[in-house]
Chain A
Amino acid sequence: MTRLDELEAFELAMEYEDQPAEAVVSWALDLFHPRVALAWSGQAEDMVILDMAWRINPDVRAFAVDTGRMHEETYALMEEVRQKYGIAIEVVFPDRHEIEAMVRNFGVNLMYRDVAYRILCCELRKVRPLVRALSGLDAWFTGLRREQWASRQNIKKIEIDHDHGQIVKVNPLADWSSEEVWRYIRTHEVPYNRLYDQSYSSIGCKPCTRPVQPGEDPRSGRWWWEINAPKECGMHCSIETGGFEKIMEAILKEAAVRGEGAAR
């Protein structure tokens, strides 16, 4: 089991700060494979990292959380990945008992009721399976980028992930712009999620995302109906930042929904 010390990890982060994404990916694969995987949710960034990693090591691992509410286009892309790269994305599912209890108690579309219900839904459908997937890893790749959100500018390319048991979190595209992501996709003919062609700016669950017209606030592509919701980026889901989990703890602490929702 390879674990980095806090000091080592952040000094490495500074060393790799000036190096291209490929070097970061290559470092992580050398050190951690097969105990490193890409958290794949069908975003453009995920496809860039997957392509990049595959060129370095075709055995690269990727996992996806199938929340049960995803778009067909995302499943189609998953299949394309299998065809083109020969990579079987490891799909993890939520606990059926938890979801059954939640749906029985609050209905299948509870997310539209109130922020606390939506966050409960995120927790059971997405966060818990994610945590389970990460618990078997020493490191993971995310597609987080600094420009996605003005409060996210201190993301480092290599971090210790205190939200997930101090494994290493690798963010190779931290300093990439959206243009660079799409240029890479075009140049290397990387398959991408067709939802982007329908003006989606963010890929997530079907009930919670929608297309964003040019000029519209990208945040309106996610959870647009919510009032008094935590201010969030709305692009790449903040679950990967750990920020989501901190917000979740704060909101669910106030709300009574947690125990009932997850009751077995």
Chain B
Amino acid sequence: MLKIERTKYEALRRHGEETYPHECCGVLLGQMDGEMRTVSSVARCGNTRTDSPHNRYDIDPRELVRIQRLGRERGEDIVGFYHSHPDHPARWSPTDLAEAHWFGCSYVITSVEKGKAAVTNSFELTGSDEADKKLVDETIEVEHAET
């Protein structure tokens, strides 16, 4: 399960509207406690796939290293990622699964229809290695109050 405050949830959905018709992407930082991933901050990233940004995304690992370091300084870990599917359903694609390597993390996908964020779903990457990995539907618990 992924737990996220309303303002952060809306921020990641809005990111997909801002980059439309291109895919947006970013990192979710927070705490992992067993099956529960709680987001405490959302880091926007640039999409390096300038060759096909409407249906592909890629986060520069250098940006990830920087985000990971800032997170550590604040006691946060990387608990997941998000990206958008412009004019495409909020379901994981074969490419999403092939390119997913962060086991036990959340992969959040927002469909953006004609520039408006529509459905947001989250999937946990389960399994133990590349051969048996799966993206499994998970609940997003959106918290209303800012803590």
The yes or no verdict on A and B being binding partners is: no
**B interface with A by C-beta (< 8 Å):** none
